[in-house]
Structure 1
Amino acid sequence: MSSEEHTETGTGWPQPAGPSGPAGEPDPRPEAPDPDELSPLAPESAPQREESPVEEADRVGEGTPVDPGRAAAEASAGPAAVAPARPRVTSAGVMIAALLALLGFTLVVQLKSTSTDPTVAATRQEDLVRILYDLNSREVRLRQDIAALEESQRQLRSGEQGRQAALEEATRRADELGILAGTLPATGPGLSVRFEPGGKPISASRVLDAVQELRGAGAEAMQISGGDRATVRIIASTFFLDGENGSLVVDGRRLTGPFTITVIGDPATMRTALNIPGGVVASVAGDGGTVIVEDREAAVVSALHAPIKLEHARPVS
């Protein structure tokens, strides 16, 4: 083998002789490639060309290319680094959720109990209006009492007139307490409530229900009379018992029917209390009896209750 055909490369393989001329001189041919491009140590790279505006838009529309270095870093970090962090459950969040659940349960129970209340559903519109009027009247009466007490307090603190105002206030309070205790007679607007028996006699429980409803409606003084004209003052400690032959025992005194309760108070409010659904009038009518309610412009409560004789207590001067 001649030196013109092969040259030694030092690896044991012959290297074909290039078309170049003597060593160190470039190939005189114009179409010959650059020696650097033919070097096995130089990386091959395609010639770059400028992209047209249309090609650049198409490339952008296809999505942003993935950075190879970033992808390798994510792959080396493992799935733990890529997975999103789970939200932390705190005690405040648990408490807020429990409070919201409790509030929802309370609202559901309230709505269910209101919608299934048989008393409200069965009440007529006229009865609801009377009950509302009763509540409004009671509110007005309480506001008047508050205003009177505030005026009394102002007068008691007004210097020279304080003594006279205190004396008048003490006298007024004594009269009120005497009427409530049944030791003083009273007069004023009110009602006359008459119980007439039907198939069944008027029981003590019916009369007691009437007294309680009248007290709740603002009754200030009451007395009960029998057919024999016997009269008993009704106070806080008065008791009622069923007697023989349809009679009634009030505070140990026997009364025969029919029975009449004379009461002082606001007539409209007390009439409303007696005529509510399921009240005294309806209960007595269910037993076959009748309740006759009449207004009185000047009802007189003249029966007196004997004062209790005190054994140990003494007034403090």
Structure 2
Amino acid sequence: MTGNENEREDGPAEGRRAAGAEGRPAEPAGLRGLAALLRPRVSRGQLAGGVLCLLLGFAVVAQVESTERDTTFATARQDELVGILSDLGQRSERLRGDLRELEETKAELERDAEGGTALQEARERAATYGLLAGTLPAEGPGIEMVVGDPGGGVKAINLLDALEELRDAGAEVVQVNDVRAGVDTYFLDGPDGILADGRLLTAPYRFLAIGDPHTMTTALNIPGGLVKTLQGTGASVLINPRAKVTVGAIRSP
């Protein structure tokens, strides 16, 4: 029994010693096991994750600050654009005012031009009427026709025919000696010679006619025409085309 008791006494002691040497991590119920559970355990992966979280947080903060700066800059640009738009609006208004002034000036010029055109047309009509009436001098291309009458065979009717022939050939202005021919010009045989509008004409009878020289010369020289008729009275006829004929005689208005 003593041996067994010794065995019983020794057995647990050895077991305790063995447990104390080998089972230190296997005592969760003891204070040492509790301390082991409460002790923080940091691995390399956890440390790297923490560093990454820190860097990510810094990046987020930096991005927020950058966004705030960008927002402020964008606001400033908008204010600047508002100022530019306001300036453009003022310039546009000034340009519209200038355009209105230019349009008014254009209208005035057009009215002046129309008035000037009307005045010019009136002057041209007055000049035409003056030429037809014989109240204005004239010059231009035409002919000079000289009718010599050595025998006194030329009569008033012959000079009237000459005037009508020239007009039919396109003569615009005609002067006979010192008498300006008009629409109501007449010729009469008088005791001392031929009268034109009451004024005595003496031979040679000189006609100045403004018009197309070729047309008038051709018309006067047609067979059986004026030249032949005058020559039949014993008169001589000389026709000279001229680049410039000056008719200075005028009629009283």
**What TM bracket, shorter-length normalisation?**
0.5 to 0.7
1:274 aligns with 2:226: no
Offset at residue 287 of structure 1 (A): 1.8
Q: For 1:173, what is the secondary structure of its paired residue?
A: helix
Offset at residue 201 of structure 1 (A): 2.1
2:158 aligned partner: 206
1:287 aligned partner: 233
Q: For 1:215, what is the secondary structure of its paired residue?
A: helix
1:33 aligned partner: none
Tell me, yes or no, if the aligned pair for 1:198 and 1:287 is still in contact at 8 Å. Answer: no
Q: For 2:147, what is the secondary structure of its paired residue?
A: strand
Residue identity (%): 45
Offset at residue 162 of structure 1 (A): 2.1
Offset at residue 169 of structure 1 (A): 0.7
The correspondence for 2:139, drawn from 187, 198, 209, is: 187
The correspondence for 1:234, drawn from 178, 181, 193, is: 181
* Partner amino acid, structure 2, of 1:244: P
CA distance, structure 2, for counterparts of residue 263 and residue 235 of structure 1:
12
Tell me, yes or no, if the aligned pair for 1:190 and 1:298 is still in contact at 8 Å. Answer: yes
Structure of greater Rg:
2
Q: For 2:131, what is the secondary structure of its paired residue?
A: helix
Q: Which structure has the highest helix share of the two? A: 2
Q: TM-score, normalised by structure 2?
A: 0.54
Offset at residue 223 of structure 1 (A): 0.7
* Partner amino acid, structure 1, of 2:184: S
Higher mean alpha-carbon deviation, 160-169 vs 207-216, is at 160-169
Tell me, yes or no, if the aligned pair for 1:263 and 1:299 is still in contact at 8 Å. Answer: yes
Offset at residue 200 of structure 1 (A): 4.6
* Partner amino acid, structure 2, of 1:268: H
Matches within 5 A, 1:148-227: 160=111, 161-225=113-177
Tell me, yes or no, if the aligned pair for 1:204 and 1:241 is still in contact at 8 Å. Answer: yes
2:206 aligned partner: 260
CA distance, structure 1, for counterparts of residue 230 and residue 126 of structure 2:
37
Offset at residue 206 of structure 1 (A): 0.9
CA distance, structure 2, for counterparts of residue 216 and residue 198 of structure 1:
28
Q: For 1:268, what is the secondary structure of its paired residue?
A: helix
Count of aligned pairs between the two proteins: 144
Structure 1: 5+ residue runs without aligned partners? 1-158, 226-230, 308-317
CA distance, structure 2, for counterparts of residue 265 and residue 209 of structure 1:
17
CA distance, structure 2, for counterparts of residue 279 and residue 263 of structure 1:
18
CA distance, structure 1, for counterparts of residue 121 and residue 166 of structure 2:
27
Q: Cα RMSD over matched residues?
A: 1.6
CA distance, structure 1, for counterparts of residue 195 and residue 227 of structure 2:
21
* Partner amino acid, structure 2, of 1:168: Q
CA distance, structure 1, for counterparts of residue 118 and residue 152 of structure 2:
53
Which of the pair has the greater relative contact order for Cα pairs under 8 Å at 6+ separation? Answer: 2
Q: For 1:164, what is the secondary structure of its paired residue?
A: helix
